[in-house]
Amino acid sequence: MKRLIYLLILLATFSCNFKERKLKKEQELQKKQIELKEKAFIDSITNVRQDSIRIVELDSLNTKKGLVAWGGANFGMSVNQVSSLNSFKGYYDSKNSLYPVLDGLILFSSKTGIKDINQIDAKFYNDRLYEIFMESSYYSANYYDNRLYEIATFLKSMLEEKYGSPTKDYGYPQFFSLKPDNSITAYFWEVGYKKVYISVEEKYDGYTYRVTCLIRNEKEYTPAQNYIKEINKKIEGQKNNQF
């Protein structure tokens, strides 16, 4: 009888110890799972913060790059500031009496400093630079797939060194896709407020072609665009009143 009671006590003790060990393991497992969840949550917050920092840094870099125009000039610079740069030595003034607050500087031929670029225009609104426009000479159709293609490719490689691959690469346009007095964009970059277009243009005569490169800061360009539209509207109204 004593043995039976002793065995029952042993079984009860073993059962209690087993339950305690099982409960302890379950508690440890739950604790570990909670710790893992907390770690995953903290890691996700850290990653979000790091991503946010990278985005802010990238935005700041793009903003700075978006202010760079060409030849040491930055968008927003005055006519005097740009004209004093070495890259604009030998410029011609291109002020237009129809648009009093618009101004421009032009470089011709060898003064541009860029191979095969025949002219560079720097455009200003209220004494603030908003656009650089480059153009090659016009060539006949015989030069479309060689000389003009080489010019477009050269400009593309020059810009890729600064900004990397184009935001949109449409490729060099097929000859028969062009129309008189029209242009087709081949390569396009967007960096902050700055947009860069390399295009191929067919002259209104339908026989000659050129490559152009437009570098524009949209923030600076918008007020200039609105001003030009307003002046053109007034000019058109004056024409209509004559009849």
Strand partners, 183: 201
Q: What are the tens digits of pLDDT across the range 194-241?
A: 999 999 999 998 899 999 999 999 999 999 999 999 988 888 877 776
Mean pLDDT of the chain: 82
Tokens for 159, please give them: 């810009």
Closest CA to 194 of 152, 131, 133: 131
**Per-residue confidence band for 62, with pLDDT thresholds at 50, 70 and 90:** very low
Q: What are the tens digits of pLDDT across the range 179-207?
A: 999 999 999 999 999 999 999 999 998 89
- What ranges do the domains of the chain cover? 1-70, 71-241
| pTM summary value | 0.72
Q: What are the tens digits of pLDDT across the range 8-31?
A: 555 555 555 555 666 677 777 777
- The mean per-residue pLDDT over the stretch 55-70 comes to 58
Say which residue, 4 or 104, is predicted with more confidence: 104
Q: So what's the pLDDT on residue 36?
A: 72
